[in-house]
């Protein structure tokens, strides 16, 4: 006689997702279920999808607040990272990569033409 595992309730899944900050693999381990099983349950439930999204957004909010704290403390790594990553800083010319955009900030297509060397 094989014992069937008890199926996790939506409430248990929600609690595990909250405890793991939206990390599905970690939540699945804590529930004793497979990651793909949990992904299927989340995909089928609008409320669980919302919890995952909210938890992930909350984690980013926390990271941004800690980054701001470090910048204000004068942490040079945080300052450099902010200047490289912030869209506002990029508008001022900071960053390692420059993008060509139109007046609305949309990418501008650029055509690259290849010419035979003897025509140069």
Whole-number Å distance between alpha carbons of 66 and 71: 9
| The pLDDT value given to residue 105 | 77
* Domain ranges (residues) in the chain: 10-95
pLDDT-based confidence at residue 45 (cuts at 50, 70, 90):
very high
pLDDT-based confidence at residue 78 (cuts at 50, 70, 90):
very high
For the chain, helix (H) and strand (E) counts, in that order, are: 6, 0
* pLDDT above 70 as % of the chain: 92
Output the 3-class SS for 34-82. CHHHHHHHHHCCHHHHHHHHHHHHHHHHHHHHHHHHHHHCCCHHHHHHH
Phi-psi map region of 3: left, alpha, beta (phi>0 left; psi -120 to 50 alpha): beta
Tokens of 26: 């970690």
């Amino acid at each position: 006689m094989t014992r069937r595992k008890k199926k996790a309730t939506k409430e248990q899944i929600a609690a595990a997702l909250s405890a793991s900050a939206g990390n599905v693999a970690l939540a699945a381990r804590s529930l004793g279920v497979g990651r793909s099983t949990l992904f299927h349950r989340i995909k089928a439930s609008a409320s669980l999808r919302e919890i995952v999204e909210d938890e992930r957004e909350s984690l980013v909010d926390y990271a941004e607040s800690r980054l701001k704290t470090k910048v204000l403390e004068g942490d040079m790594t945080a300052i450099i990272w902010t200047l490289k990553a912030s869209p506002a800083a990029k508008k001022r010319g900071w960053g390692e990569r420059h993008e060509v955009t139109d007046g609305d900030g949309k990418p501008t297509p650029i055509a690259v033409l290849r010419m035979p060397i003897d025509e140069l």
